[in-house]
Amino acid sequence: MAVLWWVAKCRTKPVIASIRGYALANGAGLALACDFIIAAESAVLGTTAINVGLICLEPGLQLARWIGHKQALQYVLSGDFIPAAEARRLGIVRTVTSEEDLERETRELAEKLAAKSPLALATGKRGFQSMEGLPLERAVEIGGDHFAALAVSEDAREGVTAFLERRTPTWKGR
What's the pLDDT at 9?
A: 59
What's the pLDDT at 6?
A: 52
Q: What is the pLDDT along the chain (174 residues), one digit of tens a residue?
A: 445 545 555 678 899 999 999 999 999 999 999 999 999 999 999 999 999 999 978 999 999 999 999 999 999 999 999 999 999 999 999 999 999 999 999 999 999 999 999 999 999 999 988 888 889 999 899 999 999 998 999 999 999 999 999 999 999 989
> Which of 141, 153, 118 is CA-nearest to residue 12?
118
What's the pLDDT at 1?
A: 42
What's the pLDDT at 2?
A: 47
Judge residue 56's burial from the number of C-beta atoms within 10 Å of its C-beta, 0-12 exposed, 13-18 middle, 19 or more buried: buried
Do 84 and 41 touch, CB atoms closer than 8 A? yes
Neighbouring C-alpha atoms within 13 Å toward the C-beta of 97: 19
Which runs of consecutive H residues, i.e. helices, occur in 38-83? 57-67, 69-78
Q: Where are the domains of the chain?
A: 2-114, 118-164
Q: Per residue in 63-73, pLDDT tens? A: 999 999 999 99
Domain 2-114 adopts which CATH fold?
Answer: 2-enoyl-CoA Hydratase; Chain A, domain 1 (3.90.226)
